[in-house]
A = this chain, B = another copy of it.
Amino acid sequence: MDFLGDVLGYVAGICTAICFLPQTISTIRSHNVDGLSLLSYIIYALGMLCWILYGLHLSALPMIIFNSPALLFALIIIWQIVCYKGKSE
């Protein structure tokens, strides 16, 4: 058992999974995407997609589980930026 490693890995994974949930909720509520960088979320989503594919390639289930919600939230935010950019100006 590697307690410290397990704790760090799980906290990191959970943070990765849920970090853009508050951003997603606040953007859905406010439709305010004014300050959000579309390019950043596209690169972020591409990164998450590659981590998931890498996880599938390595059969590493935690990598797939932690990165899938992150990709979902990123895609929702991208979709909202595309829909609402300009409309809130």
Q: Provide the residues of chain B in CB contact with A4, threshold 8 Å.
A: 57
Oligomeric state, in number of copies? 2
Is B37 within 8 A of A35, CB to CB?
A: no
Chain A facing B: main interface SS: helix
Interface residues in A, total, Cβ within 8 A:
40
Return 13 A-B CB contacts under 8 Å, by A number.
A5-B57, A13-B47, A15-B47, A15-B48, A16-B44, A19-B41, A19-B47, A22-B40, A22-B43, A23-B40, A26-B35, A26-B37, A35-B36
Q: Which 10 A/B pairs are nearest by Cβ-Cβ distance?
A: A15-B47, A12-B50, A23-B40, A23-B37, A19-B44, A32-B35, A19-B43, A8-B54, A22-B39, A22-B37
